[in-house]
Amino acid sequence: MSLGHDRNWVLTGTNEGFLGLWDVRFSRMVKLWTISTAQPINRLATTYAAFASRGLGPRPFAFAACGSDCGMYDLADGVCRQSFRVLDPHEGYGQSISRLKLPELHEVSIGTRQSRTLLREAKASSLRHQNELPVASINAMLGVMGHEQPFLMTGGSDAHLRFWDFSTTTKCYTISGQVAGQPRPAFERVDFQPANRLMVCRQSAAPRLNELESSRVPRRMHRGMIRAENRHRDSIQDLKLIQGPTQALISCSRDGSIKLWR
């Protein structure tokens, strides 16, 4: 759930992938959509900002994290303007190519037979969708919009913290989560018309135990001490950004730790 910028509307998400827009003043739902990814909505955020680089004036946007995808939806027309996606490291290149498309919002007429049928079907298939969840899901996110260099940071069930730039792949990187010997991920950008965009992270699989160097090797070869890996060991549940008096990022994980990143 996320409250609108003017506190007059609230956006809610469900485990069946429904997105509802509510008018707080009259306690009624005014819009209902389904997201084409058909995944549970793990986290929601809203903002009211202009997107000058895309020729868009001030308008309400919603960020919805569904599985391994975080979509930025224009609530004025229901179009996905940008998506940030982590690909399954066990997928082949050909399989992932078929997934390189933007998610869509499908509007549902409220109070009609269509909406009741969709809700019934969604409840009946919720267990099936849970069995089809992606390897990595986005559980936490935060970002800044409304200035020249907007960005998004996400934390997932794969214990990775990622920084996403809205336009430049070379400015995207993994803050934390890489294990020793794991190749760096590759970030790619796919452009759609009109002026919509998909940012993709191709995460390489973690090396097997038999591919890792034993922790006893440095000691045996007199290399001295090794710096411990500074990363979360389990799913990242929430993120907070401190912008004053110091600049820092706080993350908390299901492993029971809270980390401060400077």
Position 214 confidence tier, pLDDT thresholds 50, 70, 90 = low
Cα–Cα distance for residue pair 193/207, rounded to 1 Å: 38
State the pairing for strand pair 79-87/196-202.
parallel
Q: Which residues touch 14 (CB under 8 Å, ≥6 apart)? A: 20, 40, 41, 122
Asked if pLDDT for residue 255 goes beyond 80, the answer is yes
Q: Which residues touch 186 (CB under 8 Å, ≥6 apart)? A: 201, 202
Summarize the confidence of residues 198-226 as an average pLDDT.
64
The torsion angles phi and psi of 176, rounded to 5 degrees, stand at -155, 155
- Helix, strand, or coil (residue 64): strand
Tokens representing residue 80 in the block: 């996905």
Indicate the Cα dihedral angle 254, 260, 261, 262, nearest 10°: 170
Condensed to tens digits (0 to 9), the pLDDT of residues 2-43 reads: 998 888 999 999 988 899 999 999 989 999 999 988 889 999
Condensed to tens digits (0 to 9), the pLDDT of residues 116-138 reads: 555 555 554 544 444 454 567 89
Summarize the confidence of residues 75-90 as an average pLDDT.
88
Asked if pLDDT for residue 85 goes beyond 90, the answer is yes
Which DSSP category does 209 fall into? Answer: G
pTM given for the model: 0.83
Tokens representing residue 254 in the block: 């299901």
The closest of 190, 223, 6, 204 to 84, measured between CA atoms, is 190
What pLDDT score does 131 carry? Answer: 46
What pLDDT score does 208 carry? Answer: 64
